[in-house]
Amino acid sequence: MKFVADEGVDAPIVEMLRSMEHDVLYIAELDTGAGDEKILAFANLENRILLTRDKDFGELVFRLKKVHSGIVLERLYELETDSKVKIVQEVVDKYGEELYGSFTVIQPGKVRIRKLM
């Protein structure tokens, strides 16, 4: 699978996805400080799922009706990094291709997937 990880995503999550042989571009390595619309456009251009901790992408998608290839909003702030890595890995393993074209929210003990038309 192909991902763009926003710069707020913990580096160990990016490393885990790469170790699983996913193609992951990490904004922190490419264009620190890039705006949300630029990141979303980049993800769309390359048909990549955007992995982020930034709730502003929900506003872009739901209120402003921006097109996206898939967004995974990781809301695991209070957890240790190892726990975050494990949860994200489980979600990617379990839902895989279903993440494309969906707005997915990951919270401790809960995953919500909303397929947008």
Residue 51 structure tokens: 């992995």
* Helices assigned H by DSSP within the chain: 11-19, 27-30, 36-45, 56-58, 81-95
Whichever domain contains 73, its CATH number is 3.40.50
Joined together, the tokens standing for residue 103 give 């707005």
Which one-letter DSSP state was computed for residue 79? S
- Residue whose token pair is 């279903």: 98
Per-residue pLDDT of 68-116, as tens digits, reads 889 999 999 899 999 999 999 999 999 999 999 999 999 999 999 998 7
Summarize pLDDT for 23-41 with one digit per residue, the tens. 999 999 987 777 888 888 9
Residues of the domain holding 12: 2-115
What CA–CA distance (Å, rounded) separates 3 from 49? 5
Rounded CA separation 89/102 (Å) = 17
- Predicted pLDDT of residue 102: 94
Cα torsion through 91, 93, 98, 103, rounded to 10: 20
Ramachandran assignment for 67, one of left (phi > 0), alpha (psi -120 to 50 degrees), beta (any other): beta
pLDDT tens digits, 11-26: 999 999 999 999 999 9
How many separate helices (H) and strands (E) can be counted in the chain?
Answer: 5, 6
Q: For position 117, what pLDDT does the model report?
A: 56
